[in-house]
Amino acid sequence: MVSAAAEEGLIATGVELNYGLVLYSRLDSLRKGFWKRTNFIRRDLFKTNLSNYDVIVLFGVPSMMDLVKQKLLVEMRPDAMFVACRFPLPNVKPSAQLGSGIDTVWVYSRSDIQKSLSKA
């Protein structure tokens, strides 16, 4: 996703805990010529401040999605978007849903996430 964003001319940052994947991503970005528009950092997502990002994309697992939802409520800017790949945020109606099966992505605004609180 970071490389795809860079290919479109955007500046993108990838946060990954697995150092091997960080190195692979850095080398791949260099090989593709996107290294000036990409940044890959080894860090725990839950220790990373998300408030500086316009779009946040996550390849997560179901067990972390409730925690991610809480983090987004605290750190996500009002004008930012969140894209969940493969697994949606629980009990939140997305602004959009694209694809199908394992290629499904859900797009959320901050207000989508906040609305889920009033239903709880």
Using one digit for the tens of pLDDT, what is the confidence trace for 16-50?
A: 999 999 999 999 999 999 999 999 999 999 999 99
Residues with Cβ within 8 Å of 93's Cβ and at least 6 positions away in sequence, in order, are 112, 115, 116
Report d(CA 118, CA 20) in Å as an integer.
41
Residues of the chain with CATH 3.40.50.150: 52-120
The fold adopted by the segment(s) 52-120 is Rossmann fold (3.40.50)
Whether the pLDDT of residue 119 is over 70: the answer is no
Q: What is the pLDDT of residues 57-86, one digit of tens each?
A: 898 899 999 999 999 999 999 999 999 999
